[in-house]
Amino acid sequence: MRGPHNIIRLVRTLATLERSGAIGVVLEAMDAPPRLRLAARVLGWPFKWLGLKGDPALPPATRALTALGPAYIKFGQILSTRPDIVGDELALQLKYLQDKLPPFPVEVAKRMVAEELALPVDQMFSEFSEPVAAASIAQVHRARLVDTGQEVAVKVLRPGIERAFRKDIDAFYFAARVIETLSPASRRLHPMEVIRHFEGVVMGELDLRLESAAAAEFSANTEKDEGFQVPAPIWHLSSRQVMTMGWAEGVSMADNLAIDAAGHDRTLLGARVLQLFLQHALRDGYFHADMHQGNLKVAASGNIIAYDFGIMGRLDEYTRRVYAEILFGFIRKDYRRVAEVHFEAGYVPADRDIDEFARALRVVGEPIFGMDASRISMARLLSYLFEVTEKFGMETRTELILLQRTMVVVEGVARGLDPHINIWQVARPIVESYIAQNVGPRALLRDLGKTMRVLARFGPKLPGMVESRLIQQTEPAPAPRPVLHPVIWMGLGGGFVALGVALGSLL
């Protein structure tokens, strides 16, 4: 499908933004340079008639993104969590994309459930409501089990959603190829690999059996986490296009007025949502990678309830340790050590100046200390970080794009609850706890123990393996090319996390 028709798709994207009036709104909200605004209007205006009309009742940006399809809606969901980048007004408009999209008829949902589970709906559920939430990929119905009377949530994929996503992804591949061709400097960001990674994530999200498995694993990892709960999946009523799980009542994390009316402390909730994410990423290496407000609720008890486990992220143990050491270095303002860790891990090419890199890190980190979030310009920090990435030859690590994007979203959620949150102070206890347990003498002894067990198991074979390897190696292997990625910065809050979404989403 990756053919010339994708040119039409991309032209229609620009035309839709122009026709809906969104192009001016978005560029103005993001404080785009005058040249970019002029170029967008000049290129979009002649093709305005090709643009999709969308729902005239919606605000311009929301109207354009919903008309363009699910992949664009995903991008809008990310921006909705970043009022510091797109402005309060546009962010509020885009929150519509989280769980208030037009639903498909309940009769269609019932038919899909019956076909997927091979049973009439009334034999499984004594009650089956109209849609209670509708997002870009699926919608949710409230139901009650016939046999136990338990209230459950039934998630059903949108009809034809896989085909719709594939059309968008095909156009993204074409755009990435054009970018690589016209701008050789962009190749360090690996736009094709970014889209390939996005395709894998999305295709996995379209199989609800995988989401059920993710929910079960995440629930097991977090069952002892105070102030956090995950509804358990019901396996015998779940399949590729249908997922059934326990119902959990709560107030939407996006509704501050309702949270206040329920008597919850938003400052506490903002800190908790960020700390929980860091804890899951560092402690477990397995985290919820789509933590926008539409997937989070606050229970009457004050617990944070997480939903929608279609996108989950993993970090290997080595990356977690490097990530934690860099975070810890920034918390202590030890920029030299932060720079050293980057070089030791191979994230910065060895021919770069470590002192110069440390100075660049200081420029990013220092403005954040001692300031509340409302006084930090994310747009300016993002602009500076682009300069840093270019200067030090940073390359995108596609396997960690989810962490980049999720840190952007989580920080946005925390800010929505508490605009004055200090990311450094909130992150410190989680990072220090991880460092104490996993970096240092205790961790070294534990690693040595693991190494000895492996050697003991393969000990009898080691001499032969070494001899065989020496015989085969007739010439030295080329040294692996060191790669640098911006993702390690994502836990720093503010501008650090903003870079991740720019690299992960704009390409």
Residues contacting 349, CB < 8 A, separation 6+ = 392, 393, 482, 484
- What are residue 31's phi and psi, to 5 degrees? 55, 50
Looking at residue 1, what is its pLDDT?
47
CA–CA gap between residue 426 and residue 273 (Å, rounded): 10
Residues forming beta bridges with residue 156, ordered by sequence position = 139, 242
Burial of 484 (0-12, 13-18, 19+ CB in 10 A): buried
Nearest CA to 270 out of 372, 418, 412, 409 is that of 418
Q: What is the distance between the alpha carbons of residues 378 and 498, in angstroms, rounded to a whole number?
A: 7
Cβ within 8 Å of residue 57, ≥6 positions away: none
Kindly report the three-state secondary structure assignment for every residue of 309-346. CCCEEECCHHHHHHHHHHHHHHHCCCHHHHHHHHHHCC
Two tokens, residue 153:
């949530």
Q: What pLDDT sits at residue 115?
A: 94
Rounded distance between C-alpha atoms, residue 161 and residue 167, angstroms: 10
For residue 141, list its beta bridge partners.
Answer: 131, 154
Torsion angle of alpha carbons 65, 14, 39, 196, nearest 10°? Answer: 80
Segments making up each domain of the chain, as ranges: 5-98, 102-135+137-247, 316-435+483-505
Q: What is the pLDDT along the chain (507 residues), one digit of tens a residue?
A: 455 666 777 778 878 888 887 777 777 766 666 766 676 666 667 777 777 888 888 888 888 888 888 778 877 776 776 665 677 778 777 877 766 778 999 999 999 999 999 999 999 999 999 999 888 889 999 999 999 999 999 999 999 888 888 878 887 788 777 777 766 766 666 777 767 777 777 777 789 999 999 999 999 999 999 999 999 999 999 999 999 999 999 999 989 999 999 999 999 999 999 999 999 999 999 999 888 888 899 999 999 999 889 888 888 888 888 888 887 888 888 989 988 888 887 778 888 899 998 898 888 777 766 665 566 655 555 556 666 766 777 665 655 666 766 777 888 889 889 988 887 788 889 888 888 888 766 666 766 777 777 667 766 776 777 777 777 765 555 555 444 343 333 333 333 333 333 333 333
How many helices (H) and strands (E) would you count in the chain?
A: 24, 10
Render 424-491 in DSSP notation, one character per residue: HHHHHHHHHHHHHHHSSHHHHHHHHHHHHHHHHHHGGGHHHHHHHHHHH--SPPPPPPP---SGGGGG
DSSP secondary structure, 8-21, as one string = HHHHHHHHHHHHHT
Token pair, residue 31, equals 């404080």
Confidence at residue 139, expressed as pLDDT on a 0 to 100 scale: 92
Residues carrying an active site annotation: 290
Residue 444 has a pLDDT of 66
User: What's the pLDDT at 283?
Assistant: 92
Print burial letters for 210-245: b (CB count within 10 Å at least 16), e (below 16).
bbbbbbbebbebbeebebbbbbebbeebbbebbbbb
Q: Contact, 59 vs 76, CB < 8 A?
A: no
Cβ atoms 23, 37 nearer than 8 A:
no
pLDDT at 425: 82
Contact at 8 Å (CB) between 416 and 293? yes
